[in-house]
Structure 1
Amino acid sequence: MTFLSPERLWLLSLAPLLAAAYVLMQLRRRQHTVRFTNLALLAQVAPRRPGWRRHVAAALFLIMIVLMMIGFARPASSVKVPRDRATIMVAVDVSLSMMARDVAPSRFDAAKNAAKTFIRELPSRFNVGVVSFAGNANLVAAPTADRDAAIASLDQLVLAKRTAIGEAVFTSLQGVRTFDAQASQDPPPAHIVLLSDGDNTTGRTVQEAIDASRAAHVPVSTIAFGTPYGTVDIEGETTSVSVNKETLKTLADSTQGKAYEAADAGQLDEVYANIGSSLGFTTEHRDIAARYTGLALLFALAAGGASLAWFSRLP
């Protein structure tokens, strides 16, 4: 068992203080009784009552308080929930060449919009992760069933120099291999979708990426953004940035993926059509505070009932 608000458990430290205060009051009461030396008169003024009964209601009341304190800290039980491990990795090119506006509103914005649409339309059984790549590649959103988190990561992307397509594939494969505790030995079925304008200018080669993908049995589908007429202004100079569709098509064809262009990116449902399933489990924490509240209520009723039955009053 765990607690969703563990900082509230400090209240439990008050329970021993309440118990100690009760014991102290009982000792003081006994001392006052002993000081009353006229025992015959004492028997008439304060008739003898069963001593243990008066402690029962107090004990039940104290247990009720403890249960309420535990419930206030929101106890939760750990439950294993079945979860499909199938994973889609979306790799987005953030190199400066993606600033080109030969694809409206720009290659970069078009790629982000296509990625968001693809993620939103993924069937719920799939997990999705996001990788960005320029001079190197970074896992910006680990594989998750949370679509909002994956889409939000796309809005944080920033353009940078150079393009490392090979590194993007390797980082995506690493994201798959770290999906859960068993992924290093038993990776989930996966597919990589890479959105780029096609040039690999740094890092490991596209051929190395192809070899790694084939060894991992993870297809790479590509979406090419751009035309032969794209240009960008970098540090005051206009540079031609023609799209390299051949590189992207080679990467896709060699890994049993599909090569798309921005115009037909809507056909991406083919990407996940043939991905298999692999059942795993995720641990969820379910709030069980209601159980402790219910138990506290039962002890409160027991304390009140005992006090009414024996002393004709509530504790």
Structure 2
Amino acid sequence: MVNISIIRDPHKFSESYTPPKLPHREREVDLLVRTLASGSSLMEGLVLIKGEPGIGKTSVAKLSSKKLAESLGNLEVVHINCRTYRTPTSVIQRIVSSFMPGVPDRGLSYEEMVLILEKILSSEEKDFLVVLDEIDYLRDGDSLVYTLLRLHEGEAPKSPTLIAVARWDPPYMMDDSIRSFMITRLPLEKYTPDQLETIVSYRAEESLTGGSYDEEVVKKIVELSEHTGNARVALKILYLAAKLSEEAGLSKITLDMVSEAASRIGVIGITEDVLAPLDIHDKLLLLAAARRLSSIEKSWIKMGDLLEEYRLLCE
């Protein structure tokens, strides 16, 4: 059987990939770059990017950071996912280890790690930008954010700039001791169907073989995912439809493969008529399940993860 290659570049479907341009998020990227670039240095303070999953928050933070590093030249960027590093100590350790590989992750207290970070910042003639992705999952986030924003009060000549990425405003962001450092809040809205169509078309051009899809395939993907407003969901359908088509020995993605891909990742249209009779807790559980599923690569979640998401929604 002849191997048919529809996917030209699988990396462009990975979670770690950030495209060189972000359709319908160019304005936000430009705003962040212009706001944070203060002459030849980086403005100190805090930026909050917030919104639903799959609407470009992380990509905006990453692409803005990249453009800032290119324009300033003396900028060090550290990106930390707080779903993985959930305590202030683990985050500080991760920041320190990015500059000093081999620093032990055990045996040093939080205060000792902070002092090490101060010494690093005082010895480097650079600006520092720390992206705290999914900061909603960070326990005692107020302590960490407050500490990082005030490092200049110790040995560090300048505090790092922070970009916090969240689904909603963490309550401590309203505290005067942190709010006074806020440079800007950047709320992002869900993508419209037209915007999703642009995004899917752009990623298909980047990653698929020419002639392996057509406009009807793109429109079908949008039709199946538009109720989510989530670009990640739409791109998952595109990728899986391409894989299924390859496995079937086809040279083009078919509409049936798009439908099959959407079914496999659990994307179905749910109308208001279905949701209306449910009580508030049923709706919150469904929302919790949908949010958690949209952020992972599996079609199922553990009950513990569902309950954790439910508790976050109820807070």
Q: Same fold (TM over 0.5)?
A: no
What TM-score, normalized by structure 1, do the two folds share? 0.28
